[in-house]
Amino acid sequence: MTANKSDVRLSVQQLRKVYGVGSRNEVEAVRSLTFDLHAGEFACLVGPSGSGKTTLLKCIAGLLEPTSGEVVLDGRRVAGPAEGMAVVFQEYSRSLFPWLSVEDNVELPLKTSGVPKAERKERVSEALEAVSLSHATKSYPWQLSGGMQQRVAIARAVASNPSVLLMDEPFAAVDAQTRGELEDLVRDVWKRLNMTILFVTHDIDESVYLAERVLVLSSSPTIIQADLHIDLPDVRSQADTRSLHRFGELRHQVYEEVQFAKINPGGERTAAREELRS
């Protein structure tokens, strides 16, 4: 992490989140989290289930107030949902407005932030084209399949032209084949539009396939347990990339970290392990 300070898009500093402060059953969900995300980076956060992934993402998105520490986006401290941050949620059917058509859903954030009408139309149709949904603009979300609904959510996020795109297990609820297509779609959008993406998932294969960088979270209370660079070729495809030898190695490495994470709440044993390794 020696990169130029100016090219840091998102900076998370000593983030801590405790639920039920002041009550008898305080729960420490996130202990201390620090990482930077650079412009154009595609990073995955992986962790075992119950590792506070969603809590973390909500804190970053400004939907939850951290107990201490802070999130900085483009040099501005995040207090409440920030402009320049877009989120794609896992529950696609609940995150789209069922009373608006596909194009109105994509257009709404632009409309309320005061983008002029002509530009709005252009950006909406561009975004819908990027996710290959130009044919279904007038449909209602609930008339579409799950995968298509999630594409609408992605288009909406892309259209608002965010500094950082957060994705919270976006493909956890779609079937395996659709999932592969959507993964390629996200990588395609990321490259074409030169976006910065933070992608949360519990799926190890997915994280390795998608990202340039994988951050492994410990189980709750969460810390970052490992920060791995994924040195796979830039052009990836479901069939070829996944059968690369290097893919297997990386997956193995992430897998071991995740296994270890399960028995390592709060990173207490990380230091001990480092010693063992050396």
Partner 1 sequence: MIVLKRIGMWFGLPAILIAIWWATTAQGVNFFVPKPDKMASTFAKVWYSEKFFTDVLPSIGRLSISLLISLVLGVVLGIAIGLSRNLRWLLEPLLEFVRAVPSTILIPVLLLLIGINDTMKVAVIVLGCLWPILLNTVEGVRSLDEVLKNTARVYGLRGFDRIRYLVLPGASPLIMAGIRHSLAVGLILLVVSEMFASTDGIGYSIINFQNRVAIPEMWSGIVLLGIIGVLLSVAFQAIQKRVLGWYYGLKEASNDG
Partner 2 sequence: METQTPTLSSVAVSTLPTREHRVRRAARWTAVGPYVLGVAGILAALIVWELYSVFGPVSQHHLPPPSVVLPTFFTNLTFTQFWMTMGQTMWAWFLGLGIATLGGVAVGLLIGSSEFLRSATHTSIEFLRPIPAVGMIPLAALLFGPRIGAELMIVVYGCFWIIMIQVLYGITDIDKVANDTVHTMRMTWLQRVRHLVLPTLLPYLMTGIRIAATVALILAISSELIVGTPGIGRAVAQAQLNDNPPAMIALILTSGVLGILVNLIFRFIERKVLFWHTSVRSEVAA
Closest CB to partner 2 among residues 65, 129: 65
Which of 3, 7, 21, 244 binds partner 2 (CB under 8 A)? It is 21
DSSP-assigned states of every residue in 33-78: EEEEEETT-EEEEE--TTSSHHHHHHHHHTSS--SEEEEEETTEE-
In the bound complex, what is the minimum distance in angstroms from residue 136's beta carbon to partner 1? 14
Q: Which does 263 bind (CB under 5 to 8 A by kind): partner 2, partner 1, none?
A: none
Q: Give the H/E segment covering residue 253.
A: helix 245-262
Half-sphere exposure for 50 (CA within 13 Å, toward CB): 9
Smallest distance, Å, CB 261 to partner 2? 24
Nearer to partner 2, 39 or 185 (CB): 39
Residue 70 touches which member of partner 1, partner 2, none, C-beta under 5-8 Å by kind: partner 2
Q: Taking the complex as a whole, how short is the minimal distance between the CB of residue 17 and partner 2, in angstroms?
A: 11
What region does 267 belong to: left with phi over 0, alpha with psi -120 to 50, or beta? left
With CB under 8 A as the rule, give the number of residues binding partner 2: 17
CB of 23 to partner 1, least distance (A): 18
The one-character DSSP state at 218 is P
Q: Which does 94 bind (CB under 5 to 8 A by kind): partner 2, partner 1, none?
A: partner 1
Question: Do the Cβ atoms of 164 and 73 come closer than 8 Å?
Answer: yes
What's the rounded Cα separation, in Å, for the pair 71 and 85?
12
| CA atoms of 218 and 158, how far apart (whole Å) | 30
Q: Residue 121 — left, alpha, or beta (φ > 0 → left; ψ -120 to 50 → alpha)?
A: alpha
What residue 68 binds from partner 2, partner 1, none (CB within 5 to 8 A, per partner kind)? Answer: partner 2
Residue 23 binds to partner 2 (criterion: CB under 8 A): yes
**Exposed, middle or buried, 42 (CB in 10 Å: 0-12/13-18/19+)?**
buried
The one of partner 1, partner 2, none whose footprint includes residue 201, by CB under 5 to 8 A per kind, is none
Q: Which does 20 bind (CB under 5 to 8 A by kind): partner 1, partner 2, none?
A: partner 2
Contact letters for partner 2, residues 49-78 (x by CB under 8 A): ----------------x-xxxx-x--xxx-
Nearest to 44 by CA among 193, 238, 257, 220: 257
Among residues 79, 193, 244, 272, the one that binds partner 2 under rule CB under 8 A: 79
Rounded Cα distance, 71 and 58, in Å: 11
Site residues (vs partner 2, CB under 8 A): 11, 13-14, 20-23, 65, 67-70, 72, 75-77, 79
